[in-house]
Structure 1
Amino acid sequence: MYTEPIPFLSFTAQHQPIASEIQEAMKRVYTSNWYVLGEEVASFEAAYAKHNEVNFCIGVGNGLDALTMSLLACGVTRGDEVIVPAHTYLATWLAISRTGAVIIPVEPHEGTFNVAPAGIEPQITSRTKVILPVHLYGQACDMTAITSLARKYNLAIVEDNAQAHGARWLKTRTGSWGKVNATSFYPTKNLGALGDGGAVTTDDASIASFIKQYRNYGFEVKNVAVREGVNSRLDELQAAILRVKLRYLETWNEQRRQLAAIYLERLKNIGDIILPLSDKEAHHVYHLFVIRTERRDALKEFLAKQEIETMIHYPIPPHLQKCYEHLSFRKGEFPLTEKIADTSLSLPLWPGMTSNQVERVCDAVKNFF
């Protein structure tokens, strides 16, 4: 019996029910005749700030710019040190590089994939300026421990919240713990635009002012530049789309959690699979569902033959990327990060995916083993 292929990600179930709302939002922008830093951006910034339980949201061009600006807003400059996960997407490291600061990697917790707080303190020196936790795959880092360290050593926290829209640690939103925080609205994110986009969140009015100026050439008012800035502004069209999608984020996140619960139940005690651990204090929103197995490559190939698409997040750790050869990190220097890179496999999961589709993936995995 023929069965439909299962893609790694599909937007269809998300976008079809809200197509008329999205189209109306796009039409609103088109007919407004105002296409840069207008009412749509301002309204989305207000809505996302409220959703994220912070005073300020500043829309920018993409997540990498959001991270870079957040570090600059903390005064990070050449020679400063920023503590960052060894296991993360390359953009987190690139943001540090763009400031001229020194990248100080820390190994992850083996179960949650997030940076292990116990590894942070030994890396703190007199040159440390920022701790940059990444809420990876939709789960909050241990912000209780990280906040405690930041206070003890008078360090700033900059959260990378690109994969955890709507997540919480205890009852507090990710993206609201740090002095200033960055996120991405790349289309695949839990809250995704229909193109690039990003934002900075903060409770600090002076930082919000800095970001607003920096994203727009450094202008305080039109044609009056008070600092050297860049051109990185959230697009009016993307802001209008995000305003619509933000209304559905909590529903979509709950669907992700329900699908993940099926995976967690059905894949228990199968082969050598290591299932993701959800910290009891974290409200996980499952941007990705990542398992680990020593037979990762063979399993990926097997599933592909069953027309089940999977992905690897991430096959090459930042410290082994060619662009960072000059940092002289050696293979084996971050063994757990490398082990995760060699054994991780991301299974299909998206809002609107059916329980039957998840069951079929689980059956295929079980058949492989």
Structure 2
Amino acid sequence: MPINVWDYLREYDELRDEILKAVDRVFSSGRLVLGQEGIKFEREMASYLGVAGGVGVNSGTDAIYIALASLGVKAGDEVITVPNTAVPTVSAIRTLGAKPVFVDIRDDDFLMDVAQIEAAITPRTKAIIPVHLYGQCVDLEPLMRLAEMHGLKVMEDCAQAQGALYKNSQAGSVGHASSFSFYPTKVLGAYGDGGMVLSNDEAALKLARSLRFYGMETQYYSERHGYNSRLDEVQAAILSLKLPLVNGWIDRRRQIAERYNRGLKDSGLSLPAENAHSRHTYYVYVVEHPSDRDGVLDRLAKRDINCNVSYRWPIHIMRGSTDLGYREGQFPVAERKAQRIFSLPMYPHLKDEEVDTVINVLREVV
């Protein structure tokens, strides 16, 4: 049988009865949108992070732009982030009419190089989005000091970082707000799209609740321009069911990562490093090959091991970003990594013997 980079079917088989009960509970409740299931899950997520509250929305992308808008980012503002992120990070900035401004990443952990941020700040800069990529946190203490010095907002992109720790704090609890994605592949994944804005700022939370529902605070009366972005009751119920299992799933991901670390030592691949200030959740396990990444992927696929690349192209060199005015060569670390990286199979229900098969075949094809 093929070994895929991700699969949800074993999880579903394990949780099927409970999931179907949750779905039936929603369908029998008479309320499918903005009901008690969503309120319950918002409270549970806020408690998990240790923040004041959460606002469920339709997707991780919506969570980013609604979080930014709730912090006061508007058309014409600049938002500093990184080019080696998923397209949604940047498309969310642009949805507001704001301009993404990039800084390069660190060579050792793929994360934002905080030392480059100050040089990117202009009078139009309003916010910074640290992307907690692959399951590990950007170094937030110096970032928050810099933001405070310049009067900037920090919105943590936690799409890949559910359960990651920065020192003793949950990813998403340090900045002025944070965004989460519940896309099915995530550490905490729905069975469809979903996202959430979280914050300790009650005013930002109130504004986010209005913005997700056409700018309304009273039914059928819009106080401001808003959106249609609501986490539906079915997905909220499923996510609420799965949230208590996340820490155990993270422990299993870390066990798999350690098995990879042992098995791939001295293989010719560069392996992921865990920072001293982080608990890495290994949303994905990313390795590097210095010269023949695509050849390795082809040879693995012929042996029924299907990997992934997150991501093949930095945002600034995509055709969809041409109008931003960047050129190839401006962010050399991000560009070099994009040519070398690939992700090995990683999900909690992966079996030890499957991990060992990946290790053995990978050592052969490298």
Q: TM-score range by the shorter chain?
A: over 0.9
Mapping of residues 1-369 of structure 1, within 5 Å: 4-271=1-268, 273-293=269-289, 294-369=291-366
1:69-114 CA deviation, whole Å, 9 max, x = no partner?
Answer: 1111121122221110121111111111111122110111111111
Residue by residue, what CA displacement relative to the aligned partner does 1:188-215 show, whole Å, maximum 9, x if unpaired?
0000000010000001111111011110
TM superposition shift of 1:150 = 1.1
8 Å CA contact 2:85–2:133 kept in 1: the answer is: yes
**Contact 1:13 / 1:351 at 8 angstroms: preserved in 2?**
no
Please tell me the residue identity of whatever aligns with 1:236.
Answer: E
- Measure, in 2, the Cα distance between the counterparts of 1:252 and 1:20: 19
- Bigger shift: residues 9-18 or 279-288: 9-18
Output the CA distance in 2 between the equivalents of 1:52 and 1:41: 17
Letter in 2 for 1:367: E
Contact persistence 1:87–1:115 (CA under 8 A): no
Q: Distance in 2 between matches of 1:361 and 1:17?
A: 24
| Cα drift, residue 125 of structure 1 | 2.0
**TM-score, normalised to structure 2's length?**
0.98
Supply the distance in 2 between the matched residues of 1:79 and 1:9 (Cα, whole angstroms): 39
Q: CA RMSD in A?
A: 1.0
The CA deviation string for residues 151-181 of structure 1, in whole angstroms up to 9 with x for no partner, is 2212110010010101110010011111111
Do 2:84 and 2:313's aligned partners in 1 also have CA atoms closer than 8 Å? no
Tell me the TM-score normalised to structure 1 length.
0.97
**Between the two proteins, what is the percent identity of the paired residues?**
38
C-alpha separation between the residues in 1 aligned to 2:128 and 2:88? 16
Tell me which stretches of 4 or more aligned residues in structure 1 moved more than 4 Å. none
Contact residue 310 and residue 343 of structure 2 kept, 8 A: yes
What is the CA-CA distance between 1:224 and the residue it aligns to?
A: 2.3
Structure 2: segments with no counterpart, 5+ residues: none
2: CA distance, partners of 1:312 / 1:86? 15
Counterparts of 2:216 and 2:108 in 1: how far apart (Å)? Answer: 45
- The structural deviation recorded for 1:285 is 0.5
Query: Residue type of the partner of 2:107?
Result: E
Q: Residue type of the partner of 1:65?
A: D
SS of the residue 1:120 aligns to: helix
1:310-360 deviation per Cα after TM superposition (whole angstroms, max 9, x unaligned): 011111111111111112211112111111111111100101111211111
CA contact (8 A) 1:107 1:336 kept: yes
**Shift in Å at residue 11 of structure 1?**
1.0
Conservation of the 8 A alpha-carbon contact between 1:41 and 1:59: yes
Q: Helix, strand or coil for the counterpart of 2:127? A: strand
Alpha-carbon separation, structure 2, partners of 1:251 and 1:86? 32
Is residue 253–residue 351 contact of structure 1 (8 Å, CA) maintained in 2? yes
